[in-house]
Amino acid sequence: MVEFTNGIVRKPSKSMVEGITTGMFSSENPKYEDGLKQHGQYVKILEKLGLEVLVLEPLEEFPDSCFVEDPAVVTDKFAIITNSPKESRNGEKVEIEPTLKNYFDNKDIYYIEYPGTMEGGDVLQVDNHFYVGLSERTNDEGAKQFNEFVSKYGFTSSTVPVTEGLHLKDFVIYLDDNNMLLSSEMNKASEFKDFNRYVVEKDELYAINSLFINGTVMVPEGYPKTLNYIKSLGYPVEVVNTDEFKKIDGSLTCLSLRF
């Protein structure tokens, strides 16, 4: 089990109402004030679960910048600054770099460079292995560079096609002890055949993006079937309202960097 001691989050900006969305999870526009309250509660739960959380100030010029997981991938050993192909998001990597330098030596910070592209939402860590989703945001070259970096620290990686939605972790999440939540489409992937898989029903698809933190699972509010399944595995749970972030394709994992 990966133990987390640090977290980095960024307050949502007022411009979050202009965030990118596929409309897959909601057709409504987010409400900034409600999003700010939900974000504050999210931080409190991370702290309750043992993380020392650094809260960064909002960036109005980047509507999606509260999703700090996308511009970087971090472990307790290294950080990889990604390279979004979306112009409205690519500048976030510049903003996160100084913060990461407070935690990591320069020799342990790496950069995905063009023609490689990557967003952290496509990177799923299972112990010492990373599954990298190939999507509209992450390409083969980005995955290749990523593998070169992580292999220096004894990690391995492999790629998985993302055939639905935005990011890999919207459709498959690892908890711990071989337990995994995934969509019916991802359940067909041979890469995941050896896990204890729970196929989340279509009406609760958003609940796949639950977040395992130091023995407890954070679960988005409003998905009783998935919640009850997670409880049946014996996990303590924390139910979190992320409705405003759902409206711009955001969820529990993408709101923080954890290491």
Residue 123 scores a pLDDT above 70: yes
Of 39, 66, 129, 167, the catalytic one is: 167
Q: Is 129 a catalytic residue?
A: no
Structure tokens at 119: 């967003």
Residue 89 scores a pLDDT above 80: yes
**pLDDT tens per residue across span 126-145:** 999 999 999 999 999 999 99
The domain spans of the chain are 6-258
Q: What is the pLDDT of residue 205?
A: 96
Q: What is the pLDDT of residue 29?
A: 86
96, 169, 240 from 209: Cα distances, Å: 23, 6, 12
**pLDDT tens per residue across span 32-50:** 999 999 999 999 999 999 9
Q: What is the pLDDT of residue 178?
A: 98
Q: Is the C-alpha dihedral spanning 205, 53, 82, 35 positive or negative? A: positive
Q: What is the pLDDT of residue 23?
A: 60
Q: What is the pLDDT of residue 165?
A: 87
List helix spans (H) across 30-73: 32-48
Residues sharing a CB contact under 8 Å with residue 227, sequence separation 6 or more, in sequence order:
207, 219, 237, 239
Q: What is the pLDDT of residue 28?
A: 81
Q: Regarding the domain delimited by 6-258, which CATH topology (the fold level of the hierarchy) does it fall under?
A: L-arginine/glycine Amidinotransferase; Chain A (3.75.10)
Nearest Cα neighbor of 142 from 168, 122, 116, 167 is 116
Residue 75 scores a pLDDT above 80: yes
Residue 19 scores a pLDDT above 80: no
Q: What is the pLDDT of residue 18?
A: 86
